[in-house]
Every structure is written in structure tokens, then in C-alpha cells.
Amino acid sequence: MSTGAIDLHTHSSVSDGTESPAELVHAAVAAGLGTIALTDHDSTAGWREAAAAASDTGLTVLPGMELSTNYGPASVHILAYLFDPADETMVRETARIRDGRLHRAERIVERIAVDYPITWDEVLAQSVDGGTIGRPHIADALVARGHVSDRSAAFARMLHWRSAYYEKYYAPSPLAGVRMIVAAGGVPVLAHPGTRGREWVIDEKTIRALADAGLFGLEIHHRDNTQSGKERLFELAAQFGLVVTGSSDYHGEGKPNRLAENTTTPEVLASIIETGTGSRPF
Ligand code: AMP
Ligand code: FE
Ligand code: FE
Ligand code: ZN
């Protein structure tokens, strides 16, 4: 295992990052990191390219994904590491989520286009073939048209979940998600779960159920978790024996988040690698 910073949450252009998997790997090498996890939304399509780019670089790449789940009105993200990418349930369910995302994005674009001229083709032009479509691609098309200055402005205005243009997409429950990841030999970690402070969207009873189903950790060191949210998460991690991770949620130029702005300890990385049985680090 290499030394250097450990960042277990990054996105490539296979989902809503702005760099190809190879460019992302090269950016991590240039920044002197030791390990990254590639965690594109609901897709493993970048694994092969990342593995090829990482060979002979000394960078370790953990194959991963950020799985979308729905918890009532809230969208809950679960990081999954080292699962079997050919697991049938995983393949079927992520295909269903990506398909739901695609049609939902088309409907959001239809509504936005009434007020701000924009076409579906312009949105597709902002994404890679077969990639996971999300609101960031709509944001990029709005930026290209000059309707807004950057992704953040698009999210603040047209793409906010409270906006009249918004709609959700199909995703399994967090419990079904954790069970599916574990069944595929993977290691599930709740992504940025403390964004709303101490009155938290996931209650203690549900966390207990997720822990019983094999939830392995909580991503506590993340810029979107509030201070009071972090305090509550540390209590929950201790209570349920969950590991603590930290990561950047890097999206290239799509977000201000910089590689390794938050990191995970070598001990926690080792425990994740020891636990995952569906695939191996590149
Ligand atoms: P979606 O997957 O379509 O629900 O869109 C959510 C994605 O948009 C998240 O994965 C974030 O990476 C991205 N996102 C959310 N808020 C912002 C923001 N203010 N600026 C840039 N990207 C954002
Ligand atoms: Fe994202
Ligand atoms: Fe996320
Ligand atoms: Zn993410």
C-alpha cells in the first residue's frame, strides 16, 4: 500500500465530474495523493479506464460508486467500495436508477425551457455517452447558454430541489441499498450524512437498522456536513461501531471541492480493504 493522502470520494465525467477517469487519476498523482476511490454516481463505467491510468503511477485506486437512495422526500447517498461490478442485482438496480435519472432530467429541462431557452441536445452534449445524467449537466448547458455564470448559480436558481422545475427520480431505500452493496461483497459508507445539523434526516432507529444490515462507516469529514451534524455523527459512529471517513467529493471544475481537502486514515482504509470481497484495489 502506498503512502500519501487518502481521499475516498471523487467523481469523473462518467457521472458529474468534469475530468475523464484518466484525467482524474493524473490529477490525484500530480497532487501527491496515495489513494483515491472513484465513486461516480450509480455507475462503474469508469473503473477500467481509471485502473489503466493508475498502473505504474504508485497511486492506489479503490473501485467504488456513490449509490442514490430515496428516504422519504430526501435523497440519501451511499458510498460503496470494492463490490462485484457484475453482481446482477447491482447491475439491474443501477441501470434502473440511471434510466430514471435520464427521463427525470428530460422533464426538468422541458419545464426550464419554458422560461430559459435550452434544449435536451445541449444537455446531452455536456455528458458522456452512457454516463449518469444529473442536474449538473443541465447546469452546464445553462452556463453554456449564458443563463447563469456557473453550476452553483444554476443550483441556487433553476435546479434547487424547492424549485418548481424540480422532480425526484427512482432509487431504492437506504436499507435496500446497504443490503444490496453488502450482498455484492461491497463496503457501504453513508455519504455526507450530516448536512442538516442535529435535526437529522436519518433518525437513530434507521441508522441502527442500516448498521445491523452491514453499514460500515459514516463520511463525517466532508465540507457539506455542519458542525452540529458532525458532533451527532461522531456519537452515532461510537454507538454503532461505525468507522469514520473523510473525503473531498471532488468533481473537477464542477465544484470548489479540492482533492484531499478531507482525508481518511490509513487504518480505516485498511479495514475497508479487508472487508470488501467483491473486487480489489487497482
Ligand atoms: P442530481 O444527481 O441530479 O440529484 O444532482 C445532484 C448533484 O449535483 C450532486 O451529486 C452534486 O454533485 C451536484 N450539486 C449539488 N449542488 C451543487 C452546487 N451548488 N454546485 C455544483 N454542483 C452541485
Ligand atoms: Fe455529484
Ligand atoms: Fe453525494
Ligand atoms: Zn459525491
pLDDT in tens, 150-170: 999 999 999 999 999 999 999
Through-space distance between the first and last CA atoms of the chain, rounded to whole angstroms: 11
Residue 157 Cα, ligand 3 centroid: separation in angstroms?
20
Q: Which 8-state DSSP code applies to residue 251?
A: B
Residue 84 Cα, ligand 3 centroid: separation in angstroms?
21
Q: How large is the average pLDDT for residues 37-63?
A: 97
Which residue owns the Cα nearest ligand 1 atom 18?
A: 152
pLDDT of residue 16 exceeding 80, the answer is: yes
Residue with cell 452493496: 181
Residue 142 Cα, ligand 2 centroid: separation in angstroms?
17
Q: Do the bridges between strand 60-71 and strand 74-81 make them parallel or antiparallel, or are there none, so unpaired?
A: antiparallel
Q: How large is the average pLDDT for residues 173-199?
A: 94
202: pLDDT confidence band, cut at 50, 70 and 90?
confident
Instruction: State residue 270's pLDDT score.
Output: 98
Taking the C-alpha atoms of residue 105 and residue 274, their distance in angstroms, rounded to an integer, is 38
Instruction: State residue 201's pLDDT score.
Output: 73
Ligand (nearest to CA of 75): 1
Specify the 3-state DSSP secondary structure of 86. Answer: coil
**What pTM did the predictor assign?**
0.97
Instruction: State residue 2's pLDDT score.
Output: 54
Instruction: State residue 146's pLDDT score.
Output: 97
Q: Which atom of ligand 1 is nearest to the CA of 161?
A: 4
Question: Grid coordinates in use for 184?
Answer: 455484492
196: pLDDT confidence band, cut at 50, 70 and 90?
confident
Beta bridge partners of 65: 80
pLDDT in tens, 56-73: 899 999 999 999 999 998
Q: Which atom of ligand 1 is nearest to the CA of 155?
A: 19
Mutate which of 13, 16, 249 to test ligand 1's pocket (most atoms within 8 Å of Cβ)? 16
Nearest to 268 by CA among 4, 79, 8, 68: 8
pLDDT of residue 15 exceeding 60, the answer is: yes
Nearest to 279 by CA among 87, 56, 17, 96: 87
C-alpha 118: how far from chain center: 27
Residue with cell 482525508: 263
pLDDT in tens, 139-148: 999 999 999 9
pLDDT in tens, 73-131: 899 999 999 999 999 999 999 999 999 999 999 999 999 999 999 999 999 999 999 99
Which residue owns the Cα nearest ligand 1 atom 1?
A: 134
Taking the C-alpha atoms of residue 102 and residue 87, their distance in angstroms, rounded to an integer, is 23
Ligand (nearest to CA of 78): 3
Domains in the chain, start-ordered, CATH in brackets?
A: 101-156 (1.10.150.650)
Instruction: State residue 164's pLDDT score.
Output: 96
Q: What percent of the chain has pLDDT over 70?
A: 99
pLDDT of residue 265 exceeding 60, the answer is: yes
Instruction: State residue 249's pLDDT score.
Output: 98
Ligand (nearest to CA of 39): 4
Instruction: State residue 168's pLDDT score.
Output: 96
197: pLDDT confidence band, cut at 50, 70 and 90?
confident
Cα→Cα distances 217→28, 120, 169, 245, Å? 23, 38, 25, 7
Q: Do the bridges between strand 217-221 and strand 243-246 make them parallel or antiparallel, or are there none, so unpaired?
A: parallel
Q: Which atom of ligand 1 is nearest to the CA of 136?
A: 8
Q: What percent of the chain has pLDDT over 90?
A: 94
Those residues whose beta carbon sits under 5 angstroms from the ion ligand 2 are: 16
Residue with cell 463505467: 45
Residue 65 Cα, ligand 4 centroid: separation in angstroms?
9
Taking the C-alpha atoms of residue 255 and residue 95, their distance in angstroms, rounded to an integer, is 26
Taking the C-alpha atoms of residue 228 and residue 195, their distance in angstroms, rounded to an integer, is 9
Ligand (nearest to CA of 168): 1
Specify the 3-state DSSP secondary structure of 41. Answer: strand
Element at 265 (helix H, strand E): none
Q: Which atom of ligand 1 is nearest to the CA of 135?
A: 3
Q: What is the mean pLDDT of the chain?
A: 96
Nearest to 276 by CA among 211, 212, 185: 185
User: Which residues lie with the beta carbon below 6 Å from any ligand 1 atom?
Assistant: 16, 41, 134-136, 151-152, 155, 251, 254-255
CA Rg value for the chain? 18
